[in-house]
Amino acid sequence: MPFELGFAFAVQRHRRAGAHSILVLNESRLGALKRLSDLNGMDVHAHGLDHQKAAAIVLGQLGRGGQRQPTRRLDGVVGRLVKKTPRFVEYHHADDVFELPVFEDLRYAAIEACEKAELI
């Protein structure tokens, strides 16, 4: 999402030091740098398409990482959300999860589940 990343860079440059940070994840470090030359000099965290590794990187940046347990708890959250998704789609008479009411229900359910799992 280069467009959104551009906004993040703009916010970072116009805020006081340390008030805003950027975390960039990509399948590979070189792939991100090849596509977005503005990332040169920035750490890109490669996840190799492994969702557990990506989750561990994000949780580590949030100060919740350092062990595999948080990613297991996150997998549990994902499993619960996957089960709830068809109900949200049906309830809103939606075609897919990307329709705003379904997406919003999933977002709130994810926040609640992450809080219960003590991930946030």
* DSSP labels, the chain: -HHHHHHHHHHHHHS-TTS----EEES-HHHHHHH-GGGTTS-EEE-TT-HHHHHHHHHHHTT--SSSHHHHHHHHHHHHHHHHHHHHHHHTT-SSTTSHHHHHHHHHHHHHHHHHTT--
For the chain, domain boundaries: 1-49, 51-120
pLDDT in tens, 98-108: 899 998 999 89
Q: What are phi and psi of 24, to 5 degrees?
A: -110, 125
Whether 64 shows a pLDDT value over 80: the answer reads: no
pLDDT at 13: 67
pLDDT in tens, 11-58: 766 666 656 677 767 667 666 555 565 555 566 677 777 777 777 777
What contacts 100, CB < 8 A, 6 or more positions away? none
The pTM of this model reads 0.53
Whether 3 shows a pLDDT value over 60: the answer reads: no
